[in-house]
Structure 1
Amino acid sequence: MKHTLPLLTALLLAPLAALHAADVSKPKPNIIFILADDLGYGDLGCYGATKVKTPNIDRLAHEGMRFTDAHSPASVCTPSRYNLMTGRYCWRTWADHGTVWANDPLLIEHGRLTLASLLKGAGYFTGCVGKWHLGFGRPGTPGWDDMLGPDFNGELKPGPLEVGFDYFYGMPGVGQIPNIFIENRRVVGLDPNDPIRFINDPRPEYQVNYLQRPRTAPTNLQMASGKSANYVFEDAALRLTEKAVAFIEQHREEPFFLYLAHRNIHNPKKPNARFAGTSEIGVYGDFIHELDWSVGEVLAALEQLKLAENTLVFFSSDNGGVKAYERINHAEIEGHRINGPLRGQKTEVYEGGHRVPFLARWPGHVKAGSESRQLIALNDVLATCADLLRVPIPRDAAEDSFSFMPALLGKPEAKDLRQSLVNDSMMGWFSIREGQWKLIVGQDGGGFYSKQDPLPPAAESAGQLYNLDDDLGETKNLYNENPERVARLTALLAKLRNDGRSRP
């Protein structure tokens, strides 16, 4: 009888041990995250577009899961990338709601866990190809100039390689100088006789004051020399695609993580000549077609190398689409609604500024042709990957990241899924989402134009409240009719901001 309890315990634990052994024996899935730039919710065929053709991206939806309530917590570039890489709201950093520039330091804090370092620690070879837009260097380190920032003629560090990536090939940003490629820590094709040199060029005063950089240097520059290293815009997507495919080929024998951050379809919209005139809505559509081609090349590489079955592919956008930085309800080009039925556009806190397409394909795990209405955000990718690999997240990391792995696997009833979401606009407007309710603390979308084009002082209400289940287009403001709901959401927003975290 004295041996009964140990025997019973062993019998009970045997299935768990066998399950664990089976999990360990399975190869780790490769992970690819493709992030488009300024691609709107309505810019893909699988999200309703009819005037552009996106068969390769649509394939991810047909063979995987399409999310209809996915968001970038921010509505502009740099914050979106910080959110994705760290699982933390960018407005908790010195960059606040804005973007970093050529003379800004690395935004990711020293020692902070990132998506790349998490996966590298789990045995993945990690690579970033494309738009970085998170800064290089740090004040007080070699090569740093307090007025001009990092020295682009030398080693650019800290940068991607210091926050978890084994390989980097890409540009520091898009739509701002310098327009160069960097491989690992060095500028590609730099002529020693034509070094990169900047002169100061402060941005408009309202932006300088608003962004409140942690130093007194000007926040923008002009390029005085070094232009021989500039890449050709029309060839950029081709080069990035070539590097991405090469990365997959070179690391096919080991688990890899590839973060492919495209410059499409950010301005300047200059697709390669082979895509010119391929859409019925002009260069905007042509640029989408080029992006779709690139995704097709990546998927083809996975097929040819027999890696598709063991690769989890994510596709999304860094924020909503944009037509022009002006107050418009719907961004539209030749009858094509960039953000579909959503109000607003990039830089705004309206849904058109931050609700984004989000697709996931993992054959045999994510059901083909499935759809999820689960609320998710880019900052949730880190916790999801940690959940996938059963890697614990330290308390001082990924403070605003929730795993959506249950939703991916068709089990959205899990209690630890995201219940609320904070969004912010470029000009600092906040919104808080809980269930179908969304509160905007402000009287418009808080977009790029807001400081120049303020609303009249006599506004209808102090804020905005929408029921997104009934009014996805945010046309009926219920703020004055629901004071208790407004009070609850206001208190929740204050708590999430003050606590320094939203993940328990």
Structure 2
Amino acid sequence: MYNLKLINYCFIILSVLACQNKEKKQIEKAKPNILFILVDDLGYHDLGVTGSTFYQTPNVDKLANQAMMFTQGYAASRVCSPSRASIMTGKFTARHGITDWIGAKTGKAWRTRNRHDKLLPADYIHTLPNEEVTIAEAFKTNGYKTFFAGKWHLGGKGSYPEDHGFDINIAGIDAGSPRGGFFSPWNNPKLENKKKGENLTMRLAQETADFIKQNKDSTFFAFLSFYAVHAPIQTTEAKWAKYRNKADRIGIAESGYKMERVLPIRQVQDNPIYGGLVETMDDAVGVVLKALKDNGIAENTIVVFTSDNGGVASGDHYATSNLPLRGGKGYQWEGGIREPYFIKVPWLKHAGSKTEFPVINTDFYPTLLDLANVPLNPEQHKDGISLKPLLEGENLKINRPLFWHYPHYGNQGGEPASIIQKDGWKLIHYWEDNHEELFKLPSTENDDLNLISKHTKLAKNLSNQLRSWLKEVGAKYPIKDPQFNSVKANERYLNTVNKKWPSLEKQRLEELSKDFKPNATWWGSKVILD
């Protein structure tokens, strides 16, 4: 009798424990997965859903229409490494110290570029500091499996993704562009060559899809960081032909460029090579989103889609146009920092909604923690706010300034400048001569929209706030180059106008010609048997 009671008692205890374990697993499973998709150098108007009539992006368009679209969504920098560091840390660039792309020359070394600029760029931190608690570390500490695939560019060995909270790192190294191009064989110690001619963008998507399948019963934070659509601009012959023929049907403009302040800048979206590169990125997004659906976890996965800076309209490959936004990657205007910025939370009723509330990529850190019910860490993500109220349909009554600090020259023609944006106004301070520009937002930031002469008191107030904040965070500044030679600077400018500009116009028409052929293998996409 006693043994029977003991057996029954043990059975009850085991049943209770089993129920508790089941409930615990259900609670754990209820925690949302996170899929963060970051595209390199994608411009605000490079998607159909944001206004492009040339590039075709059905998968991203569909995602955007299931998400909340932030029409004033910004990157924290006009170039890659600083912007990526801000996503990882939740801090503005002047605060975390990575203010230029890692590898850019500074100080006297800048003279070796033979640009003959007025200033010597400020120094910057060259690796993501170990003391920063990254967004990946925050999720990992709270039980998430963490995964990274693609471009890192936040330091070399000792500062790879696996050193900053990611359990798995596929292809993330110090490089800022795909070594070896977009078709295998590539030169990446973190990515095995499997099939000659394989596309890098699709491979990264498949690696991410495989991770999703393998971890569908756990909770994960997956960060897919495409090398696309960064230069080198490459695509297949079939995709080039598709966009070349489309440009022909639309009508090929005689001229594709105009002069910006120091470099030509693209005025039309008609680059068939870039069109193919963008579409491949979209194909890859489709692969990953399908993996969520096929594995039955799409309804429990938050998806973020954004870019790290504006589209490349000058420098690099002069690939796209960001019009009506002025500038592009490397520039201080809207075209350099305004980005596609979408957040999909499947259980919230915000599909297809839009907001003009100004947001920036430092906001992703606290927003995603908040949505996942993970404790916030305000001492870390100091320059981000949770956007959860907006996503839930509420008003966000926060009046905060946004800051940008780029004490460098962009490879694409941008100038050393700092920016404050507040209360629907944006002030840009130029470090070459300390002049300023003032714009009312939302704005394309054309020359005729500079309103500083009409609002001098407002401009002075914003300027004082900007300088105060830069001082507070210990920002570094460029200095005057005592060897600056205005004659050589003018010679360089004239050479750009008289030689570089015509050369770009010629190259554009060559890439649109029916007999265009970059090489025998189309950048390695065609495998030629020996």
Pair in the same fold by TM > 0.5: yes
* CA shift for structure 1 position 29: 1.0
One-letter amino acid matched to 1:76: V
Q: Deviations over 1:474-496 (max 9, x none)?
A: 63211222221112111221233
CA 1:73–1:273: 2 relative to 1, 3 Å: same
The alignment-based identity, stated in percent, is 31
Q: Deviations over 1:352-382 (max 9, x none)?
A: 0000011122222151111111111111110
- What is the CA–CA distance in structure 1 between the aligned matches of 2:190 and 2:34, rounded to whole Å? 27
User: Corresponding residue for 2:361?
Assistant: 378
Q: Deviations over 1:395-450 (max 9, x none)?
A: 54112111111112221x2334x62211234533111100210000028xxxxxxx
**Aligned partner (choices 240, 261, 280) of residue 276 of structure 1:** 240
SS in 2 for 1:481: coil
User: Corresponding residue for 2:417?
Assistant: 429
| Contact 1:382–1:398, Cα closer than 8 Å, also in 2 | yes
- What is the CA–CA distance in structure 1 between the aligned matches of 2:439 and 2:96, rounded to whole Å? 28
* CA shift for structure 1 position 105: 8.8
Q: Deviations over 1:376-396 (max 9, x none)?
A: 111111011222234344454
User: Corresponding residue for 1:8?
Assistant: none
Q: Deviations over 1:224-279 (max 9, x none)?
A: xxxxx899787211221121111111111111111101111110011245533232
| Contact 2:102–2:126, Cα closer than 8 Å, also in 1 | no
**Do residues 389 (structure 1) and 389 (structure 2) align?**
no
**Mean CA deviation greater in 90-99 or 48-57:** 90-99
**Mean CA deviation greater in 393-402 or 47-56:** 393-402
| Contact 1:38–1:264, Cα closer than 8 Å, also in 2 | yes
User: Corresponding residue for 1:112?
Assistant: 132
Summarize the alignment of residues 255-270 of structure 1 with structure 2, pairs less than 5 Å apart: 255-270=219-234
Summarize the alignment of residues 193-204 of structure 1 with structure 2, pairs less than 5 Å apart: none
Q: Deviations over 1:315-369 (max 9, x none)?
A: 111100012239xxxx997xxx732411111101100000001112222215111
Q: Which is helix-richer, 1 or 2? A: 2
User: Corresponding residue for 1:308?
Assistant: 298
CA 1:51–1:64: 2 relative to 1, 3 Å: same
**Aligned partner (choices 286, 295, 298) of residue 285 of structure 2:** 295
**Aligned partner (choices 288, 308, 320) of residue 318 of structure 1:** 308
- What is the CA–CA distance in structure 2 between the aligned matches of 1:248 and 1:181, rounded to whole Å? 26
| Contact 1:43–1:340, Cα closer than 8 Å, also in 2 | no
* CA shift for structure 1 position 24: 5.4
One-letter amino acid matched to 1:120: K
CA 1:486–1:439: 2 relative to 1, 3 Å: same
| Contact 2:69–2:353, Cα closer than 8 Å, also in 1 | yes
User: Corresponding residue for 1:415?
Assistant: 397
SS in 2 for 1:53: coil
SS in 2 for 1:265: coil
- What is the CA–CA distance in structure 2 between the aligned matches of 1:492 and 1:357, rounded to whole Å? 28
User: Corresponding residue for 1:197?
Assistant: none
| Contact 2:102–2:155, Cα closer than 8 Å, also in 1 | no
User: Corresponding residue for 2:321?
Assistant: 338
User: Corresponding residue for 1:175?
Assistant: 177
SS in 1 for 2:448: coil
SS in 2 for 1:480: coil
User: Corresponding residue for 1:160?
Assistant: 161
User: Corresponding residue for 1:479?
Assistant: 452
CA 1:500–1:393: 2 relative to 1, 3 Å: farther
| Contact 1:39–1:318, Cα closer than 8 Å, also in 2 | yes
Aligned-residue RMSD, C-alpha: 3.1
CA 1:286–1:380: 2 relative to 1, 3 Å: same
For the pair shown, which has the larger CA radius of gyration, 1 or 2?
A: 2
- What is the CA–CA distance in structure 2 between the aligned matches of 1:403 and 1:91, rounded to whole Å? 21
One-letter amino acid matched to 1:315: F
* CA shift for structure 1 position 178: 7.9
TM-score, normalised via structure 1 length: 0.72
- What is the CA–CA distance in structure 1 between the aligned matches of 2:356 and 2:89, rounded to whole Å? 24
**Do residues 349 (structure 1) and 322 (structure 2) align?**
no
Summarize the alignment of residues 161-240 of structure 1 with structure 2, pairs less than 5 Å apart: 161-172=162-173, 173-175=175-177, 187-188=190-191, 235-240=199-204
- What is the CA–CA distance in structure 2 between the aligned matches of 1:274 and 1:239, rounded to whole Å? 19
| Contact 2:40–2:308, Cα closer than 8 Å, also in 1 | yes
User: Corresponding residue for 2:387?
Assistant: 404
* Long gaps (5+) in structure 1: 1-20, 138-156, 190-228, 444-453
- What is the CA–CA distance in structure 2 between the aligned matches of 1:399 and 1:357, rounded to whole Å? 23
Q: Deviations over 1:29-75 (max 9, x none)?
A: 11111111111111101001111111100001221211100000100
CA 1:486–1:233: 2 relative to 1, 3 Å: farther
- What is the CA–CA distance in structure 2 between the aligned matches of 1:395 and 1:378, rounded to whole Å? 15
CA 1:383–1:372: 2 relative to 1, 3 Å: same
CA 1:395–1:372: 2 relative to 1, 3 Å: closer
User: Corresponding residue for 1:438?
Assistant: 426
**Mean CA deviation greater in 158-167 or 232-241:** 232-241
* Long gaps (5+) in structure 2: 1-23, 106-123, 247-269, 410-415, 475-530
- What is the CA–CA distance in structure 2 between the aligned matches of 1:485 and 1:348, rounded to whole Å? 24
User: Corresponding residue for 1:16?
Assistant: none
TM-score, normalised via structure 2 length: 0.68
User: Corresponding residue for 1:196?
Assistant: none
One-letter amino acid matched to 1:431: I
The size of the alignment, in residue pairs, is 395
